[in-house]
Amino acid sequence: MSRVLVVGAGLSGGACAWLLRGAAPGRVTVWDKARGAGGRMSTSRAAWDAACTADLGAQYVTRETKRAGRCCSFYEELLCHGILKPLMAPVEGMVAKEGSCNYMAPQGISSVVKYYLNQSAGADVFYEQHVTCISLRDGKWEVSRKTGPPEQFDIVILTMPVPQILQLQGDIVNIINESQKQQLESVSYSSRYALGLFYEAGTRIDVPWAAQYITDNPCIRFISIDNKKRNIESPEIGPSVVVHTTVAFGSEYLDSDPAEVQQLILSHLERIVPSLPTPASIKCQKWRYSQVTKAVPSSPGQMILHTQPLLICGGDGFTCSNFDGCIDSALSLAEAVKSHL
């Protein structure tokens, strides 16, 4: 009985585990170094109320009807189950593409990934599992992590950002050939910060928009009244605000003290929205690998690093940083693994 490990519980990893549910029933394990599912489709919660949430990564999903292709059924299923709904709230400065539809996730954007993990028919999902080393042992992959003993698997699927794949230790260092290494090293990402501002129930945020793109500020690119964006406004649940910085700001302050970065972002926010009340708590999220700016060239959504036993990698670094790109990679990964099984 083959043991399959998926490293990364983001959209590509979650959808891949879901696609493998028939091929490897009860034999798929998912590890992620974070405390919860979503990857860059993450949703954070206020410490005092799990219903007060903020999407700190992806804000909404854009479906381009002309290009949806094999992703169409994925959209339809998520819409059918109410995981996604049309984005009806006003977003100032959004560039609307002809023939495209925007969707938001009423329960937070991480609910998309959680749906796939919950539907993956017995996959074992473990968080705070930071993979550090992958080596060959007796025809299997021995995978080590920061906490807990090493475990052996017959197939390993890596879906984390490409630079994190290149940081892994063990036999994988020598298994990746020179051509593959050059391709992987060519992948680049933008960086940015996000702030989540959480408020007590009853707080009013009086602005005429649900979200807006900012074009004339060196620090802030996007602001969302997150519950309003998702059409969830209740006197019993506190509102939340999400702030995304510009890529230039993210790059400049990437390795700065987070407390200082947070204060700098808040000072810019106060100038843009002076009426904003003081939040009860704030979460500062650094996205070192925010969106792919250059993917693996000519990649079919995945790259096989070793055949027997199978070691394969994928994710948006092998396609592009949107819903379709992640699903395309998950489909490519699942097809490769199924043919191997």
Sequential DSSP letters for 288-308: EEEEEEEPPTT--SEEEEETT
- Which alpha helices (H) appear in the chain, and where do they start and end? 11-19, 72-80, 110-118, 162-166, 172-175, 178-185, 226-229, 247-252, 258-272, 323-340
Q: What is the pLDDT, as a whole number, of residue 67? A: 62
Q: What is the pLDDT, as a whole number, of residue 251? A: 97
List, in sequence order, every residue forming a beta bridge with 312; answer none if it has no partner.
157, 304
Q: What is the pLDDT, as a whole number, of residue 26? A: 54
pLDDT tens by residue, 46-83 = 999 999 999 999 999 999 876 667 888 999 999 999 99
CA–CA dist 257, 53 (Å, integer):
25
Q: What is the pLDDT, as a whole number, of residue 70? A: 80
Q: What is the pLDDT, as a whole number, of residue 211? A: 97
pLDDT along the chain (341 residues), means of 10: 92 96 76 96 94 95 78 94 95 86 96 95 91 97 96 97 98 96 97 97 92 97 95 89 98 97 98 96 97 91 96 97 95 93 79
CA distances from 190 to 53, 193, 209, 269 (A): 25, 11, 27, 21
The two tokens of residue 210 are 């649900």
Contact 46, 141 (CB under 8 A): no
pLDDT tens by residue, 244-272 = 999 999 999 999 999 999 999 999 999 99
Among all chains, which residue has been given the structure tokens 């060239």? Answer: 297
